[in-house]
Amino acid sequence: MKKKTFLCLILTAAIFLSAFSTFRNEQGMDGANVVSSVTPEDTADCGAIWTNKFSTKGISYNSIPIMGTNGIYVVNSNILYELSYANGQVLRQTTLKEKMNSVCNMLLEEHFLYIPLANGTIQCVDITSMTSLWQSESFGGQSLSTTFCQDGYLYAGTTNVLSNGTTTGLFYCLNAKDGSTVWTYEDKDHPGGYYWSGAIVYEDALYFTGDNGILVSHSLTEPVVYDTAVLTTANIRAGLTYHKETDALYTVAKDGTLFQIQCGNQKITKVSSGKIMNGAKFITCTSTPTIYNNRLYVGCMADQYGYVCVMDALTLKPIYQVKGFQNAEVKSSPLVSTRGSSTGEVTVYFSMNALPGGLYAFKDTEGKTSASLHTLYIPQAKQYCLSSITADDKGRLYYSNDSGTLFCVTLAKDIPATSTPTVTSIPAATSTPTVTSIPAATSTPTVSNSPAPAAKKSVSKPKKPYSVKVKKSKKKYKVTWKKKSKKYQTIISYRYGKGKWKKKTIKKNTAATIKKGKKRLQIRLRCKIKKQSKWIYSSYTKTFSFRP
């Protein structure tokens, strides 16, 4: 199986520290939803540094929070808010053209925020000015899928829930620059919506699945289906994720069947499966798996109790389950944190869809065969909770429950002694799109917190190399390219056959050579630049492949 487009060559620690720019920070690379920042690990060690309530209604939904350079971005109803990291205060807000549905899996690419909204639409907002750039056509239904971006194209799906409980829907591709439709896909012979499921790119194909249980391999830019495979007759309401060790994609069906999927040359070549829990009379699962150190973590409800199941990602066999509360399904995708440790021990965070809508965790390590749940945080604003947990590079944890409240939970040492977290209520949205900048001091109740960090300049990604040419000779390949700025450094990534990827960093030149080998050679390039003491990377070029 040849991983081309998204096998990341950045150091693992660098991946783990990157800001969450979409649901689970899923970018098609190994280590999705895994962080290394020092996160809270027990109740005595943490508390809420601030909370922010966006609605006075009994039940209200927030989007996933997006971690930007200058603030946190969250949607409630038809309002996009930019919040302060320091105290959760609203810095700016703008009215969107549609309301969000019960979930909203936004995606941030550079300074463009792509927001899935009602009636099967996506709206693009430039967060530097908080102004709308475009809105896609309406595909109808609800926008409940995850959102994926690759090389200037957006991918998402829609869901229409019928009166008998079944669903229909379509999957679509947009041009990220202007929102124009590139292609749509709908299986009318086997209808099914894309309800919490989504897409991932592997090699040069897009893979997605949904309520009809069929996995699709599709062209990235053309209305062409490469391959399909019937995984199950059950609904699939979980996303796909990639694991480097097995070079495979993983997802789970609603009936608790875990799938390991091998692909190559745009085809689905092998599907293996296993049950996430043996012996359960009834099980339902809509949690997207998280994988670390060959251990897979996935939430569910079995025989009326919520669980997080710990699986062997290699054999697809259960290792053990962490039992939660009665009638409290774990719908969230477990967040795994190494807490900066090299011992192999991790802390796993999740929520449960029942009152009080709190934050829960357990510890795991290689060889462990049992663990106990502990309650990390109980909110004052109690409600049911679908939310997965998000972390920033300082170890703060963010999530919402169905009260429309966003919680920021952090280490106790980072909470000032005088701080008493309170809920900030935001007025209802107006019907006219506006951008409102909120002064630093307002009459709205806020939390007294630690001083705000110094303002950061917005950092945009460098442009990827272009005009790439590869010339083959008897003993080597000569690679030449162009780059937008002389300040950019270029990373050439290459591998022979199915071996490990290697890389060369070229600081100034725009040419390099790579030795020929006895196996097929794959080459791809990206640029990087150092800003604010941090390396910023471009997206990859396409992957060039050469026979020996």
Domain map of the chain by residue range?
Answer: 12-436, 466-546
pLDDT in tens, 505-546: 998 889 999 988 888 888 888 888 887 667 888 878 877 878
Least reliable range by pLDDT among 300-314, 387-401, 419-433, 487-501: 419-433
Average pLDDT of the segment spanning 445-466: 52
Average pLDDT of the segment spanning 267-281: 96
> Model's pTM, two decimal places?
0.78
CB neighbour class for 507 (10 Å; exposed up to 12, middle 13-18, buried from 19): exposed
Alpha-carbon distance of 92 to 88, in angstroms, equals: 12
Contact predicate 24/32, CB 8 Å: yes
CB neighbour class for 44 (10 Å; exposed up to 12, middle 13-18, buried from 19): exposed
Q: Which has the higher per-residue pLDDT, 288 or 41?
A: 288
Q: Which has the higher per-residue pLDDT, 341 or 190?
A: 190
pLDDT in tens, 196-240: 999 999 999 999 999 999 999 999 999 999 999 999 999 999 999
Peptide bond between residue 356 and the one before it cis (omega within 30 degrees of 0)? yes
Average pLDDT of the segment spanning 490-495: 89
Average pLDDT of the segment spanning 289-313: 98
pLDDT at 453: 40
Q: Which has the higher per-residue pLDDT, 533 or 119?
A: 119
b/e for 149-179, b at 16 or more Cβ within 10 A?
bbeebbbbbbbbbeeeeebbbbbbbbebeeb
What are the C-alpha distances in Å from 69 to residues 97, 127, 215, 463, 489?
A: 25, 10, 36, 18, 22
φ and ψ at residue 197, rounded to 5 degrees: -85, -175
What are the C-alpha distances in Å from 181 to residues 133, 151, 173, 238, 386?
A: 15, 15, 6, 25, 30
Quote the distance between the C-alpha of residue 203 and its chain's center: 19
Contact predicate 374/324, CB 8 Å: no
pLDDT at 14: 39
Alpha-carbon distance of 199 to 240, in angstroms, equals: 7
Q: Which CATH architecture has domain 466-546?
A: Sandwich (2.60)
pLDDT at 427: 52
φ and ψ at residue 344, rounded to 5 degrees: 95, -10
pLDDT at 282 over 70: yes
Across the chain, how many H-helices and E-strands are there? 1, 45
pLDDT at 184 over 60: yes
In the chain, what's the furthest Cα-to-Cα distance?
74
Q: Residues near 445 by Cβ (< 8 Å), separated by ≥ 6?
A: 422, 423, 424, 425
> In the chain, what percentage of residues exceed pLDDT 90?
68
Beta bridge partners of 306: 301
Beta bridge partners of 251: 259
What is the DSSP-derived secondary structure letter of residue 24? G
Q: Closest Cα to residue 113, out of 20, 240, 14, 10?
A: 20
Contact predicate 496/519, CB 8 Å: yes
Quote the distance between the C-alpha of residue 367 and its chain's center: 28
What is the DSSP-derived secondary structure letter of residue 12? H
- The length of the chain, given as a count of residues: 548
Alpha-carbon distance of 497 to 504, in angstroms, equals: 18
Q: Closest Cα to residue 376, out of 35, 46, 37?
A: 46
The band of 443, judged by pLDDT with boundaries at 50, 70 and 90, is very low
Q: Which has the higher per-residue pLDDT, 412 or 35?
A: 35
Q: Which CATH superfamily is 12-436 part of?
A: Quinoprotein alcohol dehydrogenase-like superfamily (2.140.10.10)
Mean pLDDT across the chain, nearest whole number?
88
pLDDT at 464: 87
Alpha-carbon distance of 192 to 30, in angstroms, equals: 28
pLDDT at 435: 58
pLDDT at 44: 72
pLDDT at 15 over 70: no
Average pLDDT of the segment spanning 97-109: 97
pLDDT at 517: 86
Alpha-carbon distance of 150 to 202, in angstroms, equals: 11
Q: Closest Cα to residue 28, out of 220, 212, 171?
A: 220
The band of 289, judged by pLDDT with boundaries at 50, 70 and 90, is very high
pLDDT at 20 over 70: yes
What are the C-alpha distances in Å from 336 to residues 237, 379, 473, 514, 535?
A: 21, 21, 46, 37, 24
pLDDT at 437: 52
Beta bridge partners of 469: 480
Contact predicate 312/295, CB 8 Å: yes
Q: Closest Cα to residue 81, out of 119, 115, 118, 33?
A: 115
